Amino acid sequence: MHHPDLEVPYAIIVMQLNCRQYSTQGKALIILHGLFGSLSNWGWHSKQLAKTFAVYGLDLRNHGDSPHANALNYRVMADDVREFMRSAGIEECAFIGHSMGGKVAMQLALSHPESLTRLMVVDIAPVAYPPAADGQMDVLAGMEAMEVEALSSRKEAEQRLVATIEDEATRKFVLTNLIRNEDGGYRWRLNLASIRDNYDRLREKPLLGEAFTKPTLFVKGALSNYIQAQNEEEILDLFPRASVKTIMQAGHWLHAERPQAFQKIATDFLLQDEN
């Protein structure tokens, strides 16, 4: 896919990302959420993993409580994370990244492999996805169409989203981004304009660097189409030590749908010997 980043001078200012540190004991582990998500979506898993690892949950730019910016692509998001690691004094660590966050983690692994000890990618492949293949633009349209300033309650907001977001779980996930204004009204905490303007960038594959040769695990939901059999060759080209595990009876939000199964897979992988 066309990559404008390769053609223009690169001078994007990195963001100071919002972070929650769940623990200080053990090796460092950074968890990155997906599109429309935030670190809070991974709160339960972060607390479970914090029993063993020094877990950091990050809000990526234009999401959660992190700053907003016009630029939104995997190169700048990976640089944001790298800057966070510098400021936190983390030389290298393990990563878990879901969906968009998985592509950010892959970008970091391919461009700065020294920053990662191992990589767990959740239900996303290092490939370019076709437009509207995932229904995310429908979600975005539903959020933009809602006059949030006129809302009287969160229940009203959910009722208005039914027309554009049929799935109840997705509606509730989206509504985690609806917060109160200082005047008591509502607003979206996401930078919807930047997400819309840069959505094609978020469908892209990570910019290629050298292959990442450290332990890598891709975890897919059996009911999800984000990682397909034909992606295996490209995965192994970029991540030659990669393996793929499937969680049955789970879709794209497999960590929420089958939390115990996901937690076991994550813990087993993160505690594996390096050899």
User: Which pTM was predicted?
Assistant: 0.92
C-alpha neighbours within 13 Å on the C-beta side of residue 92? 10
Coil, helix or strand for 22? coil
Please report the DSSP string for 185-251 in residue order. -EEE-S-HHHHHHTHHHHTSPPPP-S---S-EEEEEETT--SS-GGGHHHHHHH-TTEEEEEETT--
Element of type H or E holding 275: none
| Conformation bin of residue 212: beta by default, left when phi > 0, alpha when psi is -120 to 50 | beta
Residue count of the chain: 275
9: pLDDT confidence band, cut at 50, 70 and 90?
very low
Query: What percentage of the chain reaches a pLDDT higher than 90?
Result: 77
Phi, psi (5° rounding) for residue 120? -120, 115
Closest CA to 38 of 68, 56, 64, 66: 64
The pLDDT, as a whole number, for residue 3 is: 47
The mean pLDDT of 59-69, rounded to a whole number, is 97
Domains and CATH numbers, the chain: 4-128+204-270 (3.40.50.1820), 136-196 (no CATH)
Phi, psi (5° rounding) for residue 62? 70, 10
pLDDT at residue 18 tops 60: yes
Coil, helix or strand for 160? helix
**Sequence-distant (≥ 6) Cβ neighbours of residue 225 within 8 angstroms:** 133
Higher per-residue confidence, 207 vs 11: 207
